[in-house]
Chains A and B, each alone.
Chain A
């Protein structure tokens, strides 16, 4: 059916082209009647998991100034991360937890503080049953602010531990 319609359009187009050649100085505007089919984006299991973590589970927990203790809110998000990571279909997923700081500290101290934050988040995930070998940590210190502004709202956003799914060969499906 679709083929036929395309075929018809092709025929009409050829005829129009001939007509165009025959008539001088005349622009032919051709109407194509078929609409290309809408294709759903192809999502790998990995992409689906990343979307789930970022949009539904929550990939980021926040800290107080110069602090690395997990607030009740942070623990709630990490509990959701732990249940996500311990779902049977997600057992192959590995994550990296990155610790971040606001700009109010020296570069070197903030690298250490970011490491503390990442490790605090990791330790909590491990205590909830996620294998430590599935979690790597990294500190970005104050080098990768989420919000480059210099105000309390930006600083609050920038004091975080962010969990990211790591792409490994195993995950390429």
Chain B
């Protein structure tokens, strides 16, 4: 299997590396090792649809490497952090280990791992290929069932080791849950600096675990709000916010660093989001005091109206199959969520709760719509089925806003101001409502957008 992607160069941990960055096209090889048969994983399964359950204890020794011991340790550290923050797995302290692995191709002494409470063991090694690349071999063992669950190997340029580590995390996640992971992905967000009355808002991209933060927009005359990825992860559409003229929808190319206004429209264009096909933007546009929802073609700039209502219609988001669009409207008095066909027909209200509902975002799995709800001075992030059934609130605070889905649809990231005047930060929560955690950013941060799974 050959993976090709456009990855950024991973270098010094220092923040605020200036754009443009060299966006190297690199080739990444994955080989599923077949010298041991993959076996049924019925004995070690994690049901991620359930609510609170204890995370599965996993032993992850530092990877073995004669040539690259430091790198081997760092890879294990990234994997441990990924799996630990997922809330599904609980890496055991290495001090407790009894067996010291010396060769990952030798069957481990299962009893030694069972006795320290491990359920699974992840054993890996790093080989220096001598051409600037490393090969990372990994075996996942079921230490209760006394057998290998599966194995995987990656070849990658050495400086790209973090992505390889995230791919190993995704491999483990998939083996244990039966679903694709989300660790090899990135998050773009708005870095906020300066006083609240006059915030500077810049676009920053980072790995899903907070590593490699890089400022994408520096020295622009406008602020950046509500960034969203294109389906191929190469472009970001956002709102350019000006002091002296109405805000406009822009498209930013990650590879070239270029940004441009889309279309020529006399009023404000805002709330942009790519369609799942990536060939159109869904936006809101405001003219003469009325906001409606429309398609905006990023190439021709042509605007095609979808709603025509004197109420405020904003925040369109398309279902992954491209058949329907969710949006927010106050046409019924208070702002609520509506769903319509892709051509604007059959506009139906789906939420009826107290307070207001905004920023609907369709799950990449298609079965749920995440939203921001506001009620009695508190904000909530919740989910609801597209037919309006099964509304569930996942988290609340003085301000929580702007949910974005992990590529596998199991986690939501958003920004949060815990109490009035608290610093604004990025947080994530599992769809189960468990595992609320902060995403590391150097500055205050808002408007996260999770990338699709990297290729």
Contacts and interface: CB of A to CB of B under 8 A. Distances in A.
Interface string A129-173: 000000011111001111111110000000000000010000000
B197 A145 contact: yes
B335 A115 contact: no
Interface stretch (A72-80, A83-91, A101-109): A101-109
Interface stretch (A5-13, A40-48, A52-60, A116-124): A116-124
Interface stretch (B213-221, B266-274, B296-304): B266-274
Contact of B226 (A104, A107, A149): A107
A70 interface: no
Nearest to B286: A115
Contacts of B244: 96, 138, 166
A7 B140 CA distance: 96
A63 interface: no
Contacts of B421: 148-150
Contacts of A105: 356, 358, 374
A107 B196 contact: no
A111 interface: yes
A116 B314 CA distance: 13
A106 B284 contact: no
Nearest to B415: A107
Contacts of A108: 226, 270-271, 284, 314-315, 328, 358-359
A140 B242 CA distance: 8
* Interface bin, chain A: 20 to 34
A105 B377 CA distance: 10
A68 interface: yes
B396 to A, nearest CB: 14
A61 interface: no
A104 B420 CA distance: 11
A82 interface: no
Contact of A109 (B241, B245, B335): B335
A119 B289 contact: yes
A103 B359 CA distance: 15
Contacts of B246: 115, 137-139
Contacts of B420: 149-151
Interface stretch (B55-63, B162-170, B397-405, B434-442): B397-405
A156 B271 CA distance: 25
A112 interface: yes
A120 B289 contact: yes
Interface string B302-334: 000000000010110000000000001010000
Interface in B133-181: none
Given A104-B374, A106-B401, A108-B359, A144 B245 contact: no
Main SS at interface, chain A? mixed
B315 A106 contact: yes
B315 A146 contact: no
Nearest to A118: B289
A93 interface: no
Interface string B392-428: 0000001101100000000000000000110000000
Nearest to B223: A143
Contacts of A123: 289
A148 B270 contact: no
A103 B420 CA distance: 10
A138 B245 contact: yes
Interface string B17-33: 00000000000000000
B399 A103 contact: yes
B288 interface: yes
A111 B247 contact: yes
B314 A109 contact: yes
A113 interface: yes
A112 B269 CA distance: 10
B291 interface: yes
Contacts of A113: 312
Contacts of B226: 107-108
Interface string B190-211: 0000011111000000000000
Given A143-B199, A150-B398, A106 B358 contact: yes
Nearest to A108: B271
B225 interface: yes
Contacts of A106: 315, 328, 358-359, 372, 374, 401-402
Interface string A16-54: 000000000000000000000000000000000000000
B447 interface: yes
Given A106-B372, A143-B199, A112 B291 contact: yes
Contacts of A150: 398, 420-421
A107 B401 contact: yes
B197 A146 contact: yes
A145 B204 CA distance: 24
Given A115-B289, A138-B242, A109 B197 contact: no
A136 B286 CA distance: 14
Given A111-B268, A111-B314, 10 more contacts: A103-B399, A105-B356, A105-B358, A106-B401, A106-B402, A112-B270, A112-B314, A115-B291, A149-B420, A166-B244
20 contacts: A105-B374, A106-B315, A106-B372, A107-B402, A108-B270, A108-B271, A108-B315, A112-B284, A112-B286, A112-B312, A112-B314, A113-B312, A115-B291, A119-B288, A123-B289, A138-B245, A138-B246, A138-B268, A144-B198, A166-B244
Ranked 6 nearest A-B pairs via Cβ: A119-B289, A150-B420, A148-B196, A106-B358, A112-B291, A115-B286
